[in-house]
Structure 1
Amino acid sequence: MYTFKKRTKFLPSLSCLLATTFILALNGCKSEEKKEAETEAGTKPVVIGYVGGFKGLVNTEEIEAKKLTHINYAFVNVQDGKAFLTNEKTDSTNFRKLKLLKEVNPDLKILISLGGWAWSENFSDAVLTDASRKIFAKSSVDIIKKYDLDGVDIDWEYPGMAGEEGNVYRPEDKQNFTLMFQAIRNELDLLEEEIGKKKLLTTAVPGFASFLGVTEMGKAQQYLDYVNLMTYDLFQGDTVVHHASLYATDKYKTEKSADDAVKAYTAAGVPVEKLVMGLPFYGRMFKVAKLEGGLGQKQTSQEYIDGYTYIKDSLVNKKGFKEYRDEVSKVPYLLNASTGEILSYEDETSVSEKCKYVLDKKMAGVMFWEYTSDPKSYLLNAVDKALKK
């Protein structure tokens, strides 16, 4: 600090100081403007598309990259306690082709998704101990490091619960599920420090509340960027209900809804701004012995119908199917009186309703399974339009 007597001696320096202060202030304003713009950009809803690499080579020419924010590459297997590329030649080719989509959309993020319905049997063993979790976490992050990808998505179906027949699950999964995310996040942090780029950790979780009793989602969420709610296949038992209702009706006791899932996960401690609404780009066909009103009846069988392009072009008000809409659940369905078939699915109107819900609730965005189920992009176009409103 200088005194009044010495002030004149420092006038030139003071001028420089004032000029420097002005420049810094100007840069500071620009920095704040940039930060504000980044914040605004960060609030834009995510659109996460699962792409099925398990099907073989991905035709990336059909992917509309500008309408996506993230691609989750499904699936990476879990074998011998490690993340494992079952067909590395095909997977590596797919990674290369998917990364080229960044030329169209530089902000696009590409993640590997581990597990899925068919490849979740080994998660419980892989994350059983501190040592095994570290090995599993490192092997997962090693893949995205090797192929310069943007993150890891975990689709464990399910910790602490039976999924596919033969899956290993145990009570310890409840804590180990959380500790697994901690271990992966630690490895991602190390990679971030090494390369100076943000890496993501996300998970896909079922849209039924019973999952919250066998996990610690309130704790686990602290390690996660997004929690992708699989708000589809929400039928239980042998009663025919909508498989992806936005809201549940009072008619069917077994019916669950996306709204139920959002409320349950937020009550469990997951911030709503991390929750991603899941949209099925496929349908579920139920069959009943005799069609008597449709929903609420006992089913004799059900099957996966892939996907919406086929449903719209070939089944809606065709081949004996008649379209109806549930104004409470906000979803369509088809009835076929001659065959006893009931189809539950999403259409442009229902996904737009869910996008409106996402915006109203300030959720993170939407995700969908699976990209090739709607090659004409009927639903993706509806999502893109609805989220830009």
Structure 2
Amino acid sequence: MRRWGAAVVAGALSIGLSVAASPAGAHDHHGGGAVRTVGYYTQWSFADRGVPVRYLVENGTAAKLTHLNYAFGLLDEQGRCVSSDPVDDYQRLIPADQSVNGKADRPGQALAGNLNQLKQLKKKFPELRVYISLGGWTGSKYFSNAALTPQSRAEHVKSCIDLWLKGNLPGAPAGAAKGVFDGIDLDWEWPSTEGDVGNVVRPEDKQNFTKLLREYRAQLAKQGVRDRKVYDLTAFLPANREAMDRGYELAEVYKLLTFATVQGYDYHGTWEKTTNQQSAIRVPEGDPTTPKDSGEIVVDAHIERGAPRHKITLGVPYFGRGWTGVTNANNGLFQQSTGPAPATHEPGYDDYRALKNLLAGGKYRLHRDEKAGHAWLFDGATFWTYDDPTELKRKGKFIRDRRLGGAMIWSLDGDTPQGELIKGLHAGLHRR
């Protein structure tokens, strides 16, 4: 990995803290550069789903990623960064057969858990850049508090740098996790717009989000001088146009970010009674909803609001959304339902690696809209909208044809042991 010297970082600091390019230049799409492939690995992937970091090596994913976002770090009520689960993050001892380097963790070592596995992953794939992602749908409650005042912004960023970049983990030796993370990803869902129930929401969140990014840029640049490297700054941005306009000064936001990951899924789901696509490239014919949603519409909305194409990293799902009690007409598409479909972890939501098995039983049939670019499964009563390798290859080609910056995956634990989804996406992003 190419290192940036202190003089380079200081120079960037002196011209307004606009450190917007990643030091891993080949990972950012600038003109003829390679498209980026960003994957989210969740804190609970191992403990809850039996997917250790090693899984990403064994199924070929890690070799195809340019960036990995570890999700999630949280904020306390004062807006300071905290670990929501120290056991999973850095305390759990990983046995040899689930470890990236094949060696078992030992009691008393400085760093264990997921963070140590990410450190091993970086050693195996030295060009991979790893970020800590903050917030998420259920973890965005106190972002507004963090962004509220100059003092709260400064304290928030300082706490995040200390915990995640300097690696000063509570109960561990000083600097135990230093070097694990190359940047910070903000997943505030959503400024000035209510996301999960109970989130703190203020009208001034829109302007304060921009101010928070500026504070991050200032402190990250200073920390970069000390560490002789450049730390990246990214954010997850919405598909919903009302949320875009209410919560973001988008043109300025994009200037401050290394790149953005843009929501390319959850266009529809079981919060609606009518079955629909959740991640189509284009609006399917006959879609009864208003306003319409598709990858094409979302990308155009970001571009119209000032987003450079090379900084748009379009999200793709490794999961599906499902309804049951569906009217048996039109192969289940755009039909009324009685509620969410039964699923492995959460009603109406399941991983591709589970949904793939539905076809093996012979009850479900696969349907595909080649023009709109989406697929679904239907058995006469239960409907699942999902992306399979064919659709991910199509999405990769769409990203390449539109000259976007790359693809973002939510989330990596949804792929099969054979890495079927990452192979499909990679084939679309890279001409073959």
TM more than 0.5: yes
The answer to which structure has the higher helix fraction is 1
The DSSP-based 3-state class of the residue aligned with 1:47 is strand
Structure 1 residue matching 2:366: 3-state secondary structure: strand
How far apart are 1:299 and its partner, in Å? 3.0
Confirm or deny: 8 A CA contact 1:77 1:84 kept in the other structure.
yes
Structure 2 counterpart SS, 1:63: helix
Correspondent of 1:90 among 73, 88, 104: 88
Q: Distance in 2 between matches of 1:44 and 1:380?
A: 16
Report matched runs for 1:146-225 at 5 Å. 146=167, 147=177, 148=179, 149-214=181-246, 215-225=248-258
Q: Contact conserved, 1:203 with 1:224, CA < 8 A, in 2?
A: yes
Paired AA for residue 269 in structure 1: G
Kindly provide the amino acid, as one letter, of the partner of residue 268 in structure 2. F
Q: Which range is displaced more, 211-220 or 51-60?
A: 51-60
- Count residues with an aligned counterpart: 349
How far is 1:113 from its partner? 0.4
Q: Give the aligned partner of residue 300 of structure 1.
A: 338
Are 1:120 and 2:140 matched, yes or no?
Answer: yes
**CA deviation after TM superposition for structure 1 residue 51, in Å:** 0.4
Counterpart of 1:252 in structure 2 is 287
Which sits farther off after the overlay, 139-148 or 264-273?
A: 139-148
Asked whether 1:310 is paired with 2:354, we answer yes
The corresponding residue for 1:28 is none
- Structure 2 partner of 1:274: 311
Q: Secondary structure at the match of 2:190?
A: coil
Distance 1:304 1:75, change over 3 A: farther
In structure 2, the partner of 1:321 is 364
Structure 1 stretches of at least 4 aligned residues deviating more than 4 Å after TM superposition:
38-42, 55-58
Q: Contact between 2:326 and 2:335, CA under 8 Å: does it hold in 1?
A: no
| Structure number with bigger Rg | 1
Residues in 2 aligned to 1:229 and 1:269: alpha-carbon distance in whole angstroms: 14
**Equivalence for 1:365:** 406
SS where residue 112 of structure 1 aligns? Answer: strand
Partner letter of residue 78 of structure 1? L
Match of 1:349 among 386, 390, 401: 390
In structure 2, distance between residues paired with 1:99 and 1:332: 37
AA aligned to 2:217 is: R
Counterpart CA distance in 2 for 1:194 and 1:358 is: 37
Residues 40 and 113 (structure 1), Cα distance of their counterparts in 2 relative to 1, 3 Å cut: closer
Cα gap change, 1:283/1:95 in structure 2, threshold over 3 Å: closer, same or farther? same
**How far off its partner does 1:141 sit?**
1.8
- What's the offset of the Cα at 1:319? 4.9
Whole-Å separation in 2 of the counterparts to 1:83 and 1:99: 20
Q: For 2:132 and 2:25, how far apart are their aligned partners in 1?
A: 26
Q: Are residues 1:378 and 2:420 paired?
A: yes
Aligned letter for 2:132?
I
Alignment of 1:12-27 (within 5 A): none
In the TM superposition, residue 348 of structure 1 has moved relative to its aligned partner by 0.8
Letter aligned with residue 311 of structure 1: L
Percent of aligned positions that are identical: 30
Whole-angstrom CA distance in 2 between matches of 1:301 and 1:319: 23
Contact 2:45 2:413 in 1 (8 A): no
| Cα distance in structure 2, aligned partners of 1:122 and 1:290 | 41
Match of 2:72 among 72, 75, 79: 75
Would the aligned equivalents of 2:327 and 2:337 in 1 still touch at CA under 8 Å?
Answer: no
**Structure 1 pair 290–239 and aligned structure 2 pair: CA distance change class (3 A):** closer
The residue that corresponds to 1:136 in the other structure is: 156
Cα displacement (A) at 1:56: 5.1
Q: Which runs of 5+ in 1 are unaligned?
A: 1-37
Residues 289/353 of structure 1: CA separation in 2 closer, same or farther (3 Å cut): closer
Equivalent residue, structure 1, for 2:379? 336
Residue 96 (structure 1) shift: 1.6
**Which residue does 2:104 correspond to in 1?**
none
SS of 1:233's partner is: coil
Q: Deviations over 1:224-246 (max 9, x none)?
A: 01110121110174322100111
Q: How far off its partner does 1:40 sit?
A: 6.0
| Residues 1:205 and 1:247: Cα distance change in structure 2 (over 3 Å) | same
AA matched with 1:371: L
Letter in 1 for 2:427: K
* Mapped partners of 1:386, 1:317: distance in 2: 26
Mapping of 1:216-235 within 5 angstroms?
Answer: 216-235=249-268
Letter in 1 for 2:63: K
2:41 match: 51
Q: Which amino acid aligns with 1:157?
A: E
1:282–1:304 CA contact under 8 A, matched in 2: no
CA contact (8 A) 1:174 1:216 kept: yes
Alpha-carbon shift at residue 52 of structure 1 (Å): 0.8
3-state SS of the aligned residue for 2:214? helix
Is the 2:326–2:383 contact (alpha carbons within 8 Å) kept by the matching residues of 1?
Answer: no
Q: Can you list the C-alpha shifts for 1:56-114, whole angstroms capped at 9, x where unaligned?
A: 55612111321111110000011131111122343132112111112321110111000
Name whichever of 185-194 and 281-290 sits farther off: 281-290
Displacement of 1:55 = 4.4
- CA separation of 1:41/1:235 partners in 2, compared to 1, >3 Å: closer, same or farther? closer
One of 60, 77, 84 as aligned partner of 2:53: 60
Q: CA deviation at 1:178?
A: 1.2
